[in-house]
Amino acid sequence: MTRLHPKLNLSRRVGASAACSGGSDFQQRRHVARAVALSGNLMVRVAIDTNDAAKSGTRCADLGADWASCARGRLILENAGNTRLASGSWTVYVHSIRRILMVDQPDFAWRHVTGDFYALTPRAGAFTLGAGERVEVPFVGEYWYQHSDLLPRAYVVADGAQPAIFKHNDTDDETRCVEAIPPISDDAVALAATSAQIMRARAEAALPSAQQSAARALPAVLRTAQGEGAVQISGIDLSLSGLTPSQTFALISRAAALDLNGTALPVSGARRRGSIACGHCDFRRLPADARTAGANIDAFH
């Protein structure tokens, strides 16, 4: 019986352990390199071919679609870089707001993870994508799709490596991940009205300019005659016949609330057919520090 020397036996064990460790590190580097290549070169895109697949013969109800309503589309994996990408030992994770009812591609395993989260795993050896090449995965989804239903930031998990978001899908711009989608019936009307609606809303929300404010009388007038020059209004002296004491008091109180207590600008007029006739007055800018062009105003509403 041959007995090994203790020191020689120990050195052999250490050597074997080092070899295992080196192999493990090598495998880890390979996994990381694969994840980097996939996330940096592969691009995930979606094309919706029809939002009414039942009309083209798809048995939506048999697939479990609510209201027997389903759409057909394609998930597209495209090599947008220069590194050749081989299938095997990696999985793509995507979000789909619409429930995926079926995947029609034997080279891929499709799995519902949870909620709107799905996993797509290509079969090892099924394909290798060169620069610019793609593989398409036809699918059937429930209901129909709009741009807002297709979410970016799909990511890949290579065996033994950390998840990595696809560089080409790391964006909020859905045009980067949507290749085609049919318009819905009211898209054209909605898009045509959008710019006008935005402009109108902005105009309504905007404060009037100084010029617009200076040209506006408060209350609104029936007739005006624009005069020349400008007047500094720091107070008013009312001489309006035909008003009740309470009406006159209301005007004086309002002027005081607006701090019009300085040098008085004469304001004269008379009540006529429910209106106030005014010979020479200007209510267009009431704050004390406002400058405004003069006007001869016949009557107020």
Q: Are residues 288 and 161 in the same domain?
A: no
CB 157, CB 42: distance < 8 Å: no
Q: Which domain holds residue 247?
A: 210-300
pLDDT for the residue numbered 93: 97
Q: Are residues 127 and 37 in the same domain?
A: yes
The two structure tokens encoding residue 49: 């071919």
Residue 18 lies in a domain: no
Q: Are residues 39 and 174 in the same domain?
A: yes
Q: Are residues 148 and 278 in the same domain?
A: no
Q: Are residues 59 and 131 in the same domain?
A: yes
Domain boundary among 148, 183, 218: 183
β-pair partners for 108: 122
Predicted confidence (pLDDT) per residue in 21-68, tens digit: 556 787 888 888 999 999 999 999 999 999 999 999 999 999 999 999
* DSSP secondary structure letter of residue 15: H
Q: Are residues 265 and 160 in the same domain?
A: no
pLDDT for the residue numbered 107: 96
Q: Are residues 161 and 226 in the same domain?
A: no
Q: pTM of the full predicted structure?
A: 0.55
Rounded to whole angstroms, the Cα distance separating 296 from 118 reads 74
On the question of pLDDT at 165 being above 50, the answer is yes
Predicted confidence (pLDDT) per residue in 195-250, tens digit: 666 677 777 777 677 667 666 666 666 677 777 777 788 888 888 888 888 888 88
Q: Is the model more confident about 295 or about 145?
A: 145
Percent helix, strand, coil in the chain (nearest 5)? 30, 35, 35
Residue 116 lies in a domain: yes
- The amino acid present at 190, given as its one-letter code, is A
Q: Are residues 152 and 247 in the same domain?
A: no
Residue 197 lies in a domain: no
Rounded to whole angstroms, the Cα distance separating 13 from 297 reads 109
pLDDT for the residue numbered 78: 97
Rg (CA), the chain: 39
Rounded to whole angstroms, the Cα distance separating 44 from 182 reads 19
What is the count of structural domains for the chain? 2
Predicted confidence (pLDDT) per residue in 186-210, tens digit: 555 655 555 666 677 777 777 677 6
Q: Are residues 291 and 167 in the same domain?
A: no
Domain boundary among 183, 218, 244: 183
